[in-house]
Structure 1
Amino acid sequence: MVGTSAVYGMGAKKSFAEYIAGKLFQGERVYTLTDQYVSPTLNTLLAKAIAEIAELKPMGTLHVDG
């Protein structure tokens, strides 16, 4: 099992950063969490890591980030 968080990159769905930037550019107020820390992971790098992991066939849970 591969676990990750805060995945970003180009795709069909807007990322959190794109959503926030859009709201701010429109002059809207944005409310967010101030006590959450994550390690952003680029979607293309995550895909490469998963491909490498699949080749190695390790056992257990792996966390892939940043």
Structure 2
Amino acid sequence: MGKALSIFIPTFVVVLIVNQMFYGFCFKSYCLSAAFPKVVVLSILVSFFIFFVSDSSNKE
């Protein structure tokens, strides 16, 4: 669980910043609240990919 969170939190921050780059770096509360659901879903997908790729490379 700790490894998954250590992957998810930086991924969430990076995806949030990249997402907001496309909306003029709007970090106001209404911009972030609109972006939050999409960013969470994308972060989960990217985190699972990173987790399983790193896990499979450790087994080899």
TM-score (ref. length: structure 1): 0.26
Larger helix share, 1 or 2 = 2
Q: Which protein is bigger by CA-based radius of gyration?
A: 1
Instruction: Tell me: higher relative CO, structure 1 or 2? Use CA pairs within 8 A at least 6 residues apart.
Output: 1
